[in-house]
Amino acid sequence: MGRFDRYLLQQLLMLFGFFALVLILVFWVNSAVSLLDKLLGDGQSARAFFYLTLLSLPSVMAKVLAIAGFAATVFVTNRLSSESELVVVQASGYSPYRLSRAVFVFSLLVTLMIAILSHVLVPMSLRESALRRAELAQDLTAQLLTEGSFVHPGDGVTFYVREITAGGELLDVYLSRKDENGDRQSFNATRALLVREDDGPMLLMFNGMTQDYEATDRRLSVTRFDSFAYALGPLFDAGTVPRQTASVTDSLTLLTASPDELAALKAKPEKVWTLVHERNGEALLAVAAVMIGFAALVAGGFSRFGLWRQILFAVVLLIVVKMIDTSTTRTIRNDASLWIAVYLPALTGLAISYALLWRAAHPRLKPIRQSYAHQATPSQNGGTP
């Protein structure tokens, strides 16, 4: 690799890191806001929030790295063109194909990053995130211990506690449950304790009363008590441990799994291959995005007014390739035998890039012919050539 190739690759990697960081932060914060509202509303800690948001990073990175590579390529190419560096290099004998060598190496590096994310890190993070969410759903204590607000940890269940003392005692507790028939059972207690048992959490209430309302007879029964123990486990939507599926399993494990292991995943061999091909296609799309960004600007040539038209053209081409990717993904999910279609977007992008580079390497001869015709006109009329 020549000195200019190393220089160009260095510029691409530096700008790629910048754009990747910006895009990851934007997408990550957007997803974290909704997650923050849900977790804190359920009484979960900030530690659980940060852990789950960190687990979402691989998925975010897999989505934005190709866009970051495209943006870095367009920015670097436009800057080199505006500063006439590309003009000088081309004047020294570098063809558009030769200029694209470093860009192609850069696209392969981006593709390798996305491949590692898609085949390994994203499935692992999805699996760990599902397990962590199930654990949080089973943590009934965190859902209940929210002072001064009504919480609904289950269908038809309402819980309220006015204050929680330093010793863990609950003051002024209200618990209500409504079943499918419309019958409602409510508890009020001045003090309560939440304890853990083998069968689930238990609410020990003191100095209160219970109200039982039967919807069919419209009858209300009130009973006062000094102490009362109530099992909370059957009331709430406790999360179950999520089942291992093919979508949350890394590709190497899927490809080396035995028939019994695939049966446990409820995945057929054709489904496994389809999933692996989809992950390959997602990674290879970065090659098409980067090469389109470079070829579209190089084909536009040098302009003192900038390459904003070529940049818009590159964005349009990238949108077209992405539309093809969306349609082919739907196609192979409906018919696994058409798995080869998943590589069509990448091949289309590379074909477009090659056509644009060929156009840059073979400029039209029409302006030269017009110039010769203009010079030949005076001699045909008897004038001085």
Q: Where are the domains of the chain?
A: 3-137+244-372, 156-235
pLDDT digits 0-9 by tens, 84-107 = 888 788 778 788 888 889 999 999
Q: Give the pTM.
A: 0.70
Q: What is the enclosing helix (H) or strand (E) of 147?
A: none
158 phi/psi in degrees, rounded to 5:
-130, 135
User: Which tokens belong to 181?
Assistant: 């028939």
DSSP letter at 1 equals -
pLDDT digits 0-9 by tens, 208-220 = 999 988 888 888 8
With cut-offs at 50, 70 and 90, classify the pLDDT of residue 381: very low
pLDDT digits 0-9 by tens, 107-165 = 999 999 999 999 999 999 888 888 877 776 666 555 666 778 787 776 778 888 888 88
What pLDDT, on a 0 to 100 scale, did the predictor assign at position 374? 45
DSSP letter at 42 equals T
d(CA 21, CA 16): 8
